[in-house]
Amino acid sequence: MSPRSAVRPGGRSARVQQSVHAAVLELQAEQGRASLTVPQIAARAGVTPSTIYRRWGDVQELLSDVAVERLRPEAPPADFGNLREDLENWAVDFIEEMSSPPGRSYIRDALAGDPDGSNAGQCSAYAIEQVEAILARAARRGEHVPDTDTVMDHVVAPMMYRVLFRPGLLDPQYARDLVTAVFYRLMPLP
């Protein structure tokens, strides 16, 4: 749920949403998100504060809304011709994006202003979508592929756990090692 409830999709409402989002991004870049206030965002966006309060409720829900939009993947995962490289490169890109200061900030904002968990669900839906694209492509090639949930549990989840709870233990090699472990697990036992 971007805005508080179903919003008229076009015209003035769309313009307001766009200018408010743009104002948030501008002000975040200028002064960080700690000191953002609704009246300030409203002034920059050219709307009245009450418009923001009625539509988003408070600053956090607005920031959560903006964060989810910025976390949406912009392109399908790159195709390297085989599952292993596809997964490894996607995981490395993912960890680099999510562990960067803005990435971590967006994740925390997305979770913080999300009373019903729908924004968090959208974040995982983005990751699932990307993983499934990689797995489906590999399956079409005839490769043996793990379940989506296996990749989510053992590649995505460990990375996100460290982003949220253990920053400082994150580097591209960690992402590669997690992918390697999934392939190791994929091999048949004696």
Partner DNA sequence: AGATTAACGCAAGGATTTTGCGTTAAGATT
Partner DNA sequence: AATCTTAACGCAAAATCCTTGCGTTAATCT
Query: Which does residue 120 touch among its own copies, DNA, none (CB within 5 to 8 A, set by kind)?
Result: its own copies
Which of residues 31, 153, 171, 186 is near its own copies by CB under 8 A?
153
Q: Is the dihedral of CA 77, 83, 88, 89 positive or negative?
A: negative
Which of residues 35, 101, 140, 187 is near its own copies by CB under 8 A?
187
**Could you tell me the end-to-end alpha-carbon distance of the chain, in angstroms, rounded to an integer?**
49
Q: Which residues contact 188 (CB under 8 A, 6 or more apart)?
A: none
Furthest C-alpha separation in the chain: 68
Task: Tell me: does residue 162 bind its own copies (CB under 8 A).
Answer: yes
Buried b (16+ CB within 10 A) or exposed e, 121-142: ebbeeebeebbebbbebbeeee
Task: Tell me: does residue 112 bind its own copies (CB under 8 A).
Answer: yes
Task: Tell me: does residue 22 bind DNA (CB under 7 A).
Answer: no
Which of residues 152, 176, 180, 183 is near its own copies by CB under 8 A?
152
Task: Tell me: does residue 140 bind DNA (CB under 7 A).
Answer: no
* Least gap, CB of 129 to DNA (angstroms): 26
> Hey, how many other C-beta atoms are within 10 angstroms of the C-beta on 65?
25
Query: Which does residue 161 touch among DNA, its own copies, none (CB within 5 to 8 A, set by kind)?
Result: its own copies
Which of residues 16, 20, 23, 160 is near its own copies by CB under 8 A?
160
- What is the DSSP secondary structure assignment for residue 189, as one 8-state letter? P
Q: Which parts of this chain interact with DNA (CB under 7 A)? A: 5-13, 16-17, 37-40, 46-51, 53-55, 57-59
